[in-house]
Structure 1
Amino acid sequence: MNSSKETFDMNAPEPQLAVALARKALARSIGLAAFVYGYPLTETYRTCAMQTAPQGERRAGASHGSDVRAPLNTLHHAPRPSTDEDRDVVTPANDLLYTIAWVHLAHGPMLLTVPASARHPGRYFVLPLYDAYTENFENLGPRNCNPEGETVVLVGPGGTVPQSLAGHRVVRCPTDLVWLIGRILVGDESDWPAARALQSEIKLAPAPGTMLQGRPAAVEHWAGPPVDAMAAAFEHDEPAAQVAPRFFTNMCRELVEAPGRVEDRALVAWFGQVGLRPDAAFSWDTLDEPAREGLIEGFAEGVQLVGAAGRNRRPKPWSMTPSTGRYGHEFLGRARTAYLGLGALATSEAVYAAAHHDAKQEPLDGQRSYAMRFEADDLPPADAFWSVTLYDADRFLYPNEIRRHAIGDRTPGLKHGADGSLEITLSHARPSDTANWLPAPAGRFYLILRMYYPREGVQSWRVPALQAQQG
């Protein structure tokens, strides 16, 4: 331990100093664990605070394109797919129309209308529901809803269903704050009207007796700028000593409204050993000095751990996430998924693979040109659709001259080889033939392969590695 970093009284009597050092060590351990556990929760509330803020309160970090902003318990229908202008959520898909709502169930149930899939044959859509910890606890769509459409009752953990709604399907939500991120498959601009027609059938309304009120206190009084903790600590060069107090203040306030699962309560109670307790009036300044110093160090270690999870192993061309959306006690996996992209679907709905390196384990860089080749009999195993989307180092879509951000099984104008194979070119420099070109920035980038309605055995399927081209 570097004693030069200690700011509490080093001249204290030896027993007192030993206790202070031990308390700091305990706080450091708790700070690390609390960051890993609480990061998805704070990201959920941060995003809710940003997206439900009144129009006059636009703050840095808000979307400059689709402008995802709507009051609580109100649907926002994105009129177009995400582009490089959209900055609310990292790693957005480019081949979907999103319908988003922040649903608050503390004051009573809400009614969600699922569209009639029979009126839109062949059109993929899903209405996923996420709790405050980013758990994808329910997916509503053609696979489990009435093809003629149906209205579902959303009920909070302590809520009751009105007698007038007896017979309706009920979805009991783990937390009062629920994030709906509806997805509708969409093609080029000529397909937008048909996709919007389905989108317009999604409805959200209060159940009889539900009184809509203002935003939850932890959302209304969210502390700090609307950037995530790791971005503030590293990408924006803000020291952990400045970010950690805001992070833990938000987390303790949010735990009041979203206490988590019963089986997690012992872990949260352990956080209280150094003063991190569910408290709507939590104040960082009430913590003792050893606790504050230890928590700051634990926060910094947590940022590093979550940001580097899985990267200490030998780089692989592709990494397929074994499970997303439903995490159980895999808190580190949940936190890393929240960092890479909020709102991941459960693996029964979609499977994701990410590429940060080429076939020779070299980082992907747009200064080089790459080829990604799918054989005719070895395309991604998805029954709905698949796509490969390119993101820049900041985890957003890259602005480019042909306005293409993804290539998949529905991309018009793709050229296949005589043997039926498909080869995608990825580079910053424009190739002579742009039919299969996925433009990349001049520096680092990465890819996400999404496979919707994945087939059995998808986890053992090998995604083709990117081959760097000579010249």
Structure 2
Amino acid sequence: MILSRKCFSLIAALPIFTASLPAYAEFTKDLKEARAIAEEAYIYGYPVVEMYKTLYVQAVDKNDSNFKADFNQIGNTSDVYTPKDTSFITPNSDTPYSFVWMDLRAEPIVLTLPKVESERYYSVQLIDIYTQNFAYLGTRTTGNDGGVYMVTGPNWQGEKPSNVSKVIRSESEIVYALYRTQLIDDSDIDNVRKIQSKYKVEMLSDYLNEAQPKKEPRIAWPKLTSDMSTTPAFFSYLDFMLDFAPTVSSEKDIKERLSKIGIGTDEDFSLSELSQDQLSALQDGMNDGRKKFATFKKDYIDNHKVTSGDFFGTREQLKNQYLYRYSGAALGIFGNSADEAMYLGYFIDSENKPLDASKNNYQLRFEKGSLPPAKAFWSLTMYDGENKFLVENKLNRYLINSPMLENLTKGEDGSVTLYIQKDSPGKNLESNWLPAPDHSFYGVLRLYIPEEVVLNGSWKRPLMTAVKQ
């Protein structure tokens, strides 16, 4: 049974909860209404449940190969991502990550950042349980001189310590801090590790050398299951996670609707108390939500009518457009906000056909002077269309980026053509080859700290052109 903090006040003396009360909120008797609410809840909650999957493998399950560190401690990935890394989909491989999962129930956390050389990009992305990027630290926002920053939960009351640069408040008591430190080239990895070793994470009481506040009860994190995103089990995980975020004013209406199917109430969501008809209504609603996203992707994402900049950001930036937030989680969870980085996806070729390296080779041509405009750097990364991870290849090359420009072969007119295909284009062009799998694939062009011409849409990326094998 899934255990939540709804039992905390009743079993406060126990260090960890081992039972849940049987009470359950009344489920609406209107099955048509239940199906409609389930669709809305699925789209609303999909990013929350997807985030939980990463939380569990990175901070809870120490036997998982993707475990990084306990809560409120930092874990560093000292190497770039490879196809063996599967903790989340569509990872980038040119900024080694550091990870902090925060439990802010008892007290705030203090993050200390070192000074970093001006030519190197780095950032700390602060993400709440809805996958909203509520704040940033680093090159774009606070500069490369470092500093001391405090992250608090929604209910914290206290004074800012005098030597803390800024206090940042989260909507949720669980927060994910995702650090990115630019790797210039393969020989630069030791420099990245030195920077990572200077990232410091402390509870506020430790930072101030004061007594720790009373500890909150331990949380019994529900184990992951294979069907948690595809069956009504989904709603149990959503209900569990929503305990860690009080309702904000703009979501009172949707939270009230969700309560009609037992989500977000004072009691645990209980599948065992639902009839087969009620379970079917929930499943049908989830299926409706998936169809809605598929249509949206085909009509708007694949045709570039919307960009990643629409899918990631603060609550104010996203304007509670839950299908956009769903899209971000489905296509590349924990993506950056537009000001920090733009993600331009390549899913179809210039003739609107899906990318498939078993059928075609592809070329991406940047005319002279039309390379991606980014203040920090840009990269094009290859992903397997079947599992959304990086692609194994003999070159161990998962991307082509701006630091590699001097080694790329250029045309006589100054253009740069990238060859995206499963087989080598030949030794003389191999520097420009981005290996693809022998089936479907997609690419993501990332621009870190994009220029205004990217943000306002006046710069147009080139389309990927199919060439018969």
TM range, smaller chain:
0.7 to 0.9
Question: Which AA in structure 1 matches 2:225?
Answer: P
Of 49, 55, 59 in structure 1, the residue corresponding to residue 62 of structure 2 is 55
| Counterpart mapping for 1:61-460 below 5 A | 63=65, 67-117=66-116, 120-145=117-142, 147-162=144-159, 164-165=161-162, 168-208=165-205, 209-210=211-212, 217=219, 220-225=220-225, 229=229, 233=230, 243-244=231-232, 246-279=233-266, 281-312=268-299, 316=303, 320-326=307-313, 327-367=318-358, 368-393=360-385, 394-411=387-404, 413-433=407-427, 434-458=430-454, 459-460=457-458
SS at match of 1:443: coil
User: Any unmatched runs of 5+ in structure 1?
Assistant: 1-19, 234-242
TM-score by length of 1: 0.85
Alpha-carbon distance, 1:222 to partner: 2.0
Q: Which moved more, 1:366-375 or 1:296-305?
A: 296-305
Alpha-carbon distance, 1:70 to partner: 1.1
Alpha-carbon distance in 1 for matches of 2:396, 2:463: 24
Matched-pair contact (CA < 8 Å) for 1:354–1:448: yes
User: Quick one: structure 1 residues 312 and 403, their matched pair in 2 at CA, closer, same or farther if it must change by over 3 Å?
Assistant: same
Alpha-carbon distance in 2 for matches of 1:329, 1:164: 33
- Cα deviations across residues 315-370 of structure 1 (Å, max 9, x unaligned)? 53796334232222110000111111111111111111111111111111112111
Matched-pair contact (CA < 8 Å) for 2:28–2:261: no
TM-score by length of 2: 0.85
How many aligned positions are there? 427
Question: Which AA in structure 2 matches 1:44?
Answer: M
- Cα deviations across residues 121-175 of structure 1 (Å, max 9, x unaligned)? 2000001100000001111013332643211111110012356557541111111
| Number of the residue aligned with 1:469 | 467
The percentage of counterpart residues that share the same residue type is 28
Alpha-carbon distance, 1:213 to partner: 5.5
User: Quick one: structure 1 residues 109 and 353, their matched pair in 2 at CA, closer, same or farther if it must change by over 3 Å?
Assistant: same
User: Quick one: structure 1 residues 401 and 328, their matched pair in 2 at CA, closer, same or farther if it must change by over 3 Å?
Assistant: same
Alpha-carbon distance in 1 for matches of 2:217, 2:147: 28
Alpha-carbon distance, 1:418 to partner: 2.3
CA RMSD of aligned residues (A): 2.4
| Number of the residue aligned with 1:237 | none
Q: Which moved more, 1:276-285 or 1:181-190?
A: 276-285
Q: Which moved more, 1:333-342 or 1:295-304?
A: 295-304
SS at match of 1:108: coil
Matched-pair contact (CA < 8 Å) for 2:68–2:76: no
Question: Which AA in structure 2 matches 1:269?
Answer: E
Matched-pair contact (CA < 8 Å) for 1:319–1:353: no
Matched-pair contact (CA < 8 Å) for 1:109–1:210: no
Alpha-carbon distance in 2 for matches of 1:340, 1:101: 22
User: Quick one: structure 1 residues 267 and 211, their matched pair in 2 at CA, closer, same or farther if it must change by over 3 Å?
Assistant: same
Of 27, 36, 46 in structure 2, the residue corresponding to residue 39 of structure 1 is 46
Q: Which moved more, 1:190-199 or 1:208-217?
A: 208-217
Alpha-carbon distance in 1 for matches of 2:143, 2:353: 48
Question: Which AA in structure 2 matches 1:112?
Answer: L
**After the TM superposition, which segments of 4 or more aligned residues of structure 1 sit over 6 Å from their partners?**
none
Alpha-carbon distance in 2 for matches of 1:317, 1:463: 10
Alpha-carbon distance in 2 for matches of 1:401, 1:124: 29
Alpha-carbon distance, 1:308 to partner: 4.4
- Cα deviations across residues 184-233 of structure 1 (Å, max 9, x unaligned)? 1103321101122222221111011545968963xx3325426761xxx3
SS at match of 2:293: helix
Alpha-carbon distance in 1 for matches of 2:74, 2:335: 20
